[in-house]
Chain A
Amino acid sequence: MILDRRNKLLIGLGIVAAILIARLFVIQIIDNKYKIDASNNSMVYNTIYPTRGIMHDRNGNILVGNKVAYDILVTPREVEAFDTTAFCRILGVDRDFLETKFAEYRKYRRKIGYQSVILLKQVPTETYMRFAETAYMFPGFRGQARNIREYPFNAGGNLLGYVSEVDQSYINRHPGEYKSGDYAGMTGIEAAREADLRGEKGYSIYLRDSRNKIMTRYNDGEMDKEAVPGKDITTTIDANLQHYGQELMKNKVGSLVAIEPSTGEILTLVSSPGIDVDILADFGAHYNEVLSNPYKPMFNRAVQAPYPPGSVFKLVNGLIGLQEGVLTPASRYPCSMGYHFGKNKLGCHAHRSPLDLEESIMMSCNAYYCYVFRNILESGRNGNIAESMDKWNEYVKSFGFGRKLGSDFPAELPGFIPDSKYYDKRYRKGGWKATTVISLSIGQGEIGCTPLHLANLCATIANRGYYYIPHIVKDSKLVSIDPKYKEKVYTMVDTSYFPVVVEGMYRAVNSGYGSGATASVAEVKGLDICGKTGTAQNPRGDDNSVFICFAPKDNPKIAVAAYIEHGSFGARWAAPIASLLIEKYLNGEICPERKPLEKRVLEGDLMDKVKP
């Protein structure tokens, strides 16, 4: 072919045609951008929100249900002049609100385009009905049904958690899962089980023209997606017991945790003061109020507060002593109003002396455990003091202390159990000895346990040596739980050493007044409650009142830990509260002899003792 001018021009024609076709190839086949834009352009996805899963308690009662509320949506571009006075009256809003909203829409009109935005959230049904009757007067406005939470029991505000609209940072943290306007569980079980509860959104697709007029259903609705309702969840909570626990804890600061020892299921988990369920449904509206409350109701003390356990911790030291062979059930130690070392003394209360192990638990002798603890550290079986300290730390951690237990409850905190490194740093290497850290023997000093840890300790002793990781969601047909919640976790102390401790706890409760036992107040005829009191120093005021107990002694059904800030002696508040809870659980009611005690607890108000 000759390259004359005709052919040059034809080649040019070919090149131009090739450019056009290549460009078409890019935008029609390679680049997906335009296809996505096209469906945004012409299809309206009308979201169908699923109903959120319901939460049941262990007996099938509904703890958290759903009810319908309405959002009022507005499409600013479709709004025509309307009677604002009537509008405000019907929806119960003031003019300023409306004006600010519309000023905002004008400002962002480019961004909003033909979209609908939410003008009012969660309007009650009656208000919505009034609006719906007159909706023809307000073009551009419409209602959209939404499910919101409803709480038939006033039980477990902190535990259940709240649901609220996702914000931008939440959307960013869960890429691709949420869109603005969606709701998600933010705390408690709502958050922990969000994936099960939320369900799947559906949509119906409509086609619209460039003026946003809905033309028809796309493919006659064939491509529409039904919403999949969220899965219902069965919790381990006993709604009635939880409610009773909250009543007992009213006007006290602290926690009350009850576990079923044979399963690790949490029956009750109260953090006081807590969040009332009335607030939960519309948490956004009360958010600031809750945040500014000086008692921090959002703070879930039951799993987050690191408290010194006090004398309750003697049980752990006793068990370690037995395992280490530095203590036998028959070992007796003297006590003369305390334990004397050098010029110092760790005080104790008046009781007879010397005591054996069971008696030391029953009467909660401080000196006894100073001997035990010193022997653990100084026996030389595990090397020097530092090495013995680390061994001790290992033992304690095997009970679940000083680490997260691994419950399915979000925001659980580990607490703290010291080791030799900690003291090396604090004093200097070799600059401390057994007497320096002697308060650990009675659960004081550099030690932090959550009430959940203490309840777990109680369940471990009730089981004579093992526990199940505490959890709040039960296996059900729809939702299965992690198999780890079904495995026994053993401590490093042999199960054969537990019965003597149980015996001590039994005697602490059931020896009658005048015997020197610390927890006679917790005795309930026929229930065989075993318990241990604790009185933990609180630098901010009166001591904390602590009590753990389980019942019955054989085949225990419930293990409870009560921790009352500034509640004075363990027997003063914690023991009555814990034992009342057990009595309610096992007997269903409080026996007449204990009614006055119940009355005292229900009416007791310790709030003025607490300096927030």
Chain B
Amino acid sequence: MLVLCWFILFMIGWMNIYASIHSSEPSSIFSPEGRSGKQFIWMLVSLVFGIVILFVLNPHIYESLSLPIYIAVACLLVAVIFLGTEVKGSRSWFELGPVRFQPAEVSKISTSLLLATVMSQFGFKISRPKDFLSVAAIILFPMLVIVGQSETGSALVYVGFAFVLYREGMSGWVLFLGFMAILLFVLTLAASPYTALMVLAGVTSFCDAVYTGKIKGWFVKYLPALVFLGFVPVILENVWEAAGWNPENMVKPAYIFIGVVLLTLPFIVFRAYRTRSGFTVLAAASLLAGVMLVYSTDFLFNNVLQDHQRKRIEVLLGLKDDPSGVGYNVNQSMIAIGSGGLFGKGYLQGTQTTYGFVPEQSTDFIFCTIGEEWGFVGSAAVILMFVFLIWRIITKAERCKEAFTRIYGYCVASCIFMHLFINIGMTIGLMPVIGIPLPFISYGGSSLLAFTIMLFIFIALESNEKKFAS
């Protein structure tokens, strides 16, 4: 079943790679000069690897070899910074004759394997700080090296391993806090620090209320108060203007709010301490941490980030419109997808993608070709196909008796999920433009091969277990 999924996704990718290049390289879809031809060769290579993994290699070697593989790949990752070829500003490619490959792709496999090995060991408990730290180190090391290669996109994929940790018992609050941090970051920049503070106060007090079982009280007391506070800046500005003072010179409402919070917080903490409600203390602490995050975001964004990085984020958040500069890619890509309509323009009929308006259209922006030529129906089908694949992997992983296989399965699912979300999110303007490929579909040999190997290792592990069970 998974092999079938893999094959369908590859076919979709292969056809669309041809569609996206056919006007500039009008040759047969098999022609080895064209990208579609090359991709076909890579598919055959991948298939050979897949068959080897499925039928030749003993599935047990992965567990035992995971540490050496991890170390070897880590060495490659570091080495590529010094020895690699520079492609578009990042040193992440090795060039071996006609073939180029990216250690970062392989690193996802090695990290997954080692993670599975470590976490499946007897007595491993993620809540134990020592274990948590070792796991974190396994994930963070390649991630940081890849950031060092200026491949932020690939590094972001490693965030997906957090889902694996969650499945294996990490507290859900970690995910929640991470999500909150991102939310606050976006709100601070897109709206204002004050709005971010309001949301922060609302969420922390609500969580506290849920935890202590005072939800009704929260709706009666906190919610109206927060709504009122939301209007305070507008009211104050009018009051000051009416009084003839320049609002610019007056104390900002946000500071007044923080001041009040700082004054009242000790009392709340004190009372919480007396009633032994540890959660309230934690909530108060996270409120403070949140305030600091909001202001450090503000500070970081305006003073630390470089211009082009700031621009990318601003364009993404819709703060600035820049269709010919940074926003060009996204804008063109959205135009291409949007012009597809419900059923699309038909295979090879796209005007936007075939005439080269969308950059990187056979690699990172392959989804545009799908969107334009196959329309909403086609692109939604592709997304659903991925969802099905991920769901199958998770379901199969859950059925496994061996923790190693299960954890590895989750790793594979997380990686595919992150790629899917970031890549498609980028083409439709939900994520910043960070170049990572769409698994199995984008043009690129090393990506296709890496994902194939990754998936087929899981299939091998899983079928081996079935054999064992029966």
Residues of A within 8 A of B (CB): 5-6, 8-10, 12-14, 16-17, 19-21, 23-25, 27-29, 31, 33-35, 37-39, 41-43, 110, 207-211, 215
Contact = CB atoms under 8 A, between A and B. Distances in A.
B337 A210 contact: no
B340 interface: yes
Given A19-B430, A31-B338, A41 B383 contact: no
B417 A27 contact: no
Contacts of B398: 6
Given A42-B352, A110-B324, A210-B357, A9 B335 contact: no
Contact of B339 (A8, A38, A208): A38
Contact of A9 (B167, B324, B331, B376): B167
B196 interface: no
Contact of A13 (B172, B355, B391, B425): B391
Given A16-B421, A39-B339, 11 more contacts: A9-B167, A12-B163, A17-B387, A20-B421, A27-B338, A31-B338, A37-B331, A38-B336, A42-B357, A209-B356, A215-B355
A209 B371 contact: no
Nearest to B324: A110
B74 interface: no
A456 B376 CA distance: 68
B71 interface: no
A5 B166 contact: yes
A27 B425 contact: no
A29 B340 CA distance: 8
Contacts of B428: 20, 23-24, 27
Interface in B314-358: 324, 331-332, 334-342, 351-352, 355-357
Interface in B351-372: 351-352, 355-357, 371
Contacts of B342: 28-29
B380 interface: yes
Given A14-B387, A16-B421, A33 B357 contact: no
Given A17-B387, A28-B379, A42-B355, A23 B430 contact: yes
B313 to A, nearest CB: 19
B394 A210 contact: no
B417 A13 contact: yes
* Interface SS of chain A: helix
Given A14-B387, A25-B376, A110-B324, A35 B355 contact: no
Contact of B337 (A33, A34, A211): A34
B462 to A, nearest CB: 16
Contacts of A38: 335-336, 338-339, 351-352
Given A13-B417, A28-B341, A38-B338, A207 B351 contact: yes
B185 to A, nearest CB: 18
8 contacts: A9-B167, A13-B417, A17-B383, A17-B384, A20-B383, A23-B428, A28-B375, A38-B351
Contacts of B425: 20
Best-buried of B355, B379, B386, B417 by chain A (most CB within 10 Å): B355
Given A17-B387, A24-B371, A110-B324, A35 B356 contact: no
Contacts of B375: 28
Nearest to A209: B355
B424 interface: yes
> Which of B380, B384, B391 is packed against the most chain A CB atoms within 10 Å?
B380
Nearest to A215: B355
Nearest to B338: A34
A270 to B, nearest CB: 56
B356 A211 contact: yes
A33 B384 CA distance: 26
B338 A33 contact: yes
B390 interface: yes
B167 A5 contact: yes
Nearest to B344: A28
Nearest to A35: B339
A316 to B, nearest CB: 66
A35 B394 contact: no
In order of increasing CB-CB distance, the 3 nearest A-B pairs are A34-B338, A38-B339, A209-B355
Contacts of A37: 331, 335, 338-339
Nearest to A208: B355
B408 to A, nearest CB: 15
Nearest to B169: A5
B469 to A, nearest CB: 20
A38 B163 CA distance: 39
Interface string B45-75: 0000000000000000000000000000000
Contacts of B386: 17
Contacts of B421: 16, 20
B269 to A, nearest CB: 31
Contacts of B417: 13, 16
Given A28-B340, A34-B339, A21 B380 contact: yes
A38 B340 CA distance: 10
A6 B341 contact: no
A346 B383 CA distance: 99
Contacts of A34: 334-335, 337-339
Contacts of A110: 324
Given A6-B167, A6-B394, A16-B421, A41 B338 contact: no
A578 B137 CA distance: 108
A214 to B, nearest CB: 11
Nearest to A213: B355
Nearest to A43: B351
A209 B342 CA distance: 24
A8 B386 CA distance: 18
Contacts of A29: 341-342, 376
Given A5-B167, A24-B337, A10 B394 contact: yes
Interface string B373-395: 00110011001101100110010
A21 B383 contact: yes
Which one of A8, A23, A42, A209 has the highest number of Cβ atoms from chain B below 10 Å of its Cβ?
A: A42
Given A9-B163, A24-B371, A41 B380 contact: no
Nearest to A17: B387
Contacts of B167: 5-6, 9
Contacts of B172: 8
Contacts of A20: 383, 421, 424-425, 428, 430
A34 B357 CA distance: 13
Most chain A beta-carbon contacts within 10 A, residue among B351, B356, B376: B351
Given A20-B428, A41-B357, A28 B387 contact: no
Interface string B400-425: 00000000000000000100010011
Contacts of B384: 17, 21
Contact of B338 (A17, A35, A43, A209): A35
B166 A28 contact: no
Nearest to B397: A6
Nearest to A42: B351
A9 B398 CA distance: 12
B119 to A, nearest CB: 14
Most B CB within 10 A of own CB, among A16, A23, A37, A43: A37
Contacts of A19: 430
B94 to A, nearest CB: 31
Query: Which residue among A25, A27, A215 has the maximum number of chain B CB atoms within 10 Å of its CB?
Result: A27
B351 A9 contact: no
Interface string B159-179: 000010011000010000000
B354 to A, nearest CB: 8
